[in-house]
Copies of this chain bind each other. A is one copy, B any other.
């Protein structure tokens, strides 16, 4: 029997980010693919040498799969996706479609939405990234107005990551994008996402106990 995957995340976070810490992406992918996994935690406040050895930017998640260790949620997701056709089509054309949209979620959408969000929550007087975010969302809206899934005519890891990028409340509240809104609702209604998110929230809530 193979050793279970180990998904590493924080021991605890404040209420704000609960449900949104990026280990949820890995839990979700493992749930979709039926891959057994355990969750192990590292301290939230103390990001010392042992943590930096595994994640050199002091972030989470990171993954252990036997001898393989990986950081970056994108790299971890791609590693998991290759284990299951549920996540990544095996035919070369379908795989290419899924990969291009997988990278689009991380590098065309999240590259704008996360810095835009960061400026919003840190109280920038004017958010210089708003026009760029609008443009990206409008382009994506045009795509999703014409189809249900990003690649290969069905759910893939590209939808998992794109929906996770887009479900951030501030980003969703930013404009009127009905196809995009319906898409996020459709993807995040999947039982694998609901379990992944609920498990994460429950884990952080359970850790409140030691902090009374």
Contact = CB atoms under 8 A, between A and B. Distances in A.
Oligomeric state, in copies: 2
Given A110-B111, A143-B56, A100 B128 contact: no
B115 A74 contact: no
B132 A128 contact: no
Interface in A121-164: 122, 124-126, 128-129, 132, 136, 139-140, 142-143
Interface string A86-111: 00000011001001101110111011
Interface stretch (A37-45, A63-71, A172-180, A193-201): A63-71
Contacts of A125: 125-126
A118 B132 contact: yes
B56 A75 contact: no
A128 B104 CA distance: 24
Interface residues of A, number: 47
A202 B115 CA distance: 34
Given A57-B139, A103-B106, 7 more contacts: A57-B140, A59-B108, A67-B93, A68-B93, A72-B108, A75-B100, A75-B104
Interface of A: 52, 56-59, 67-75, 78-79, 92-93, 96, 99-100, 102-104, 106-108, 110-112, 114-116, 118-119, 122, 124-126, 128-129, 132, 136, 139-140, 142-143
29 contacts: A52-B139, A52-B142, A56-B104, A56-B140, A56-B143, A57-B104, A57-B136, A57-B139, A57-B140, A67-B92, A70-B96, A72-B99, A72-B104, A72-B108, A73-B103, A73-B107, A74-B103, A75-B99, A79-B99, A106-B107, A107-B111, A110-B111, A112-B115, A115-B129, A118-B129, A119-B128, A122-B128, A124-B128, A125-B125
